[in-house]
Structure 1
Amino acid sequence: MQSRLNPFTAAPEAIDAMVGLERYLHDCGLEYALVELVRIRASQINGCGYCLHMHTRDAREAGETEERLHVLAAWRDSPLFSDRERAALAWTESLTRIADTGAPDADFEQARAQFTEEELVKLTLLIGAINTWNRIAVGFRRVHATGGARTPKASVRTKATA
């Protein structure tokens, strides 16, 4: 696969705006493990290898287990996820597939039972952000790094802030 263009150089101000949203989401108060699960699940649905590569690595570095990462696509059939994580994952799937789901009341109510209204807004912004990154990466055929390298500006997370 060959990259179509580099959005970081083609429209740096637009990407800087997305990076600003990521900085906000990083420090918004949602649990880091939950944030990464949401990012990974949306990226699985969207088939975004670039984001899957980045966020599974970030999750592992933050202590996420291989077992949970391997069953994330089938989270409904696994006892490894908390009620709060299940609510976030259901809301993630609902909003990522919004054209098909219409964001059902049942998924909203499940999320509302586990998150404050403020957290629910933040979670929804997180889901929207990763879906935008997925569309940038898939649309422009971004190719993830191999080995330990990471493309500059690809993540606002650093080891110091993990």
Structure 2
Amino acid sequence: MNYKEIAKETIGHLYKAHSSIRKSGIDEKLIALAELRVSQINGCAYCCSYHAKELLNFGIEQDVINRLPGWKHTNAFDVKQKLVLSWTEAITYHNDNIQEIRERLLQYFTEREFVELNASITLMSTLNKLRITLAEED
């Protein structure tokens, strides 16, 4: 189903929001890392492939991308990246420790960056679910 064409205005607004987040000033590598992790959790094959290639284009090594599912058990990610991944999982899985992670994130990010990061994660989850439920399989 060509859902992007069927609901062109609505879906277009979602992609405009995504573009706005990418232009917000927050490090695009962190956004792409979070978006890949959300896509992995949600099982969106298309988005996993897209964001993995995007990270490669940003200069992230393939070995680091391969370690993403096990990010808690590797030194391949720095403190800021691990906080972003922790937050990504907390809000995607609806974990109970959201407040604790939020407080740590706000030590590294401005309120605006925090809101943009949050918007990115939640929007990516929406885009994953649209792709999984409405698009043809890849």
- Name the structure 1 match of 2:60: 64
- Name the structure 2 match of 1:89: 85
Aligned with residue 136 of structure 1, among 119, 125, 130: 130
| Partner Cα distance (1:64, 1:116) in 2 | 24
Aligned with residue 122 of structure 1, among 99, 116, 137: 116
Q: CA deviation at 1:30?
A: 1.2
- In structure 1, the gaps of 5 or more residues are 145-162
CA contact (8 A) 1:90 1:107 kept: yes
Query: What pairs with 1:12-91 in structure 2 (closer than 5 Å)?
Result: 12-91=8-87
Measured against aligned partners, the alpha-carbon deviations of 1:133-162 in whole angstroms (never above 9, x if no partner) come to 111111114434xxxxxxxxxxxxxxxxxx
- Name the structure 2 match of 1:107: 101
Measured against aligned partners, the alpha-carbon deviations of 1:108-140 in whole angstroms (never above 9, x if no partner) come to 122122211111101000111111111111111
Task: State the percentage of identical aligned residues.
Answer: 26
CA gap of 1:107–1:27, structure 2 versus 1, over 3 A, is same
Runs of 4+ in 1 over 4 A off after TM superposition: none
Higher helix share: 2
Calculate the aligned-residue CA RMSD, in Å: 1.3
| Partner Cα distance (1:115, 1:73) in 2 | 24
TM value normalised by structure 1:
0.80
CA contact (8 A) 1:41 1:92 kept: yes
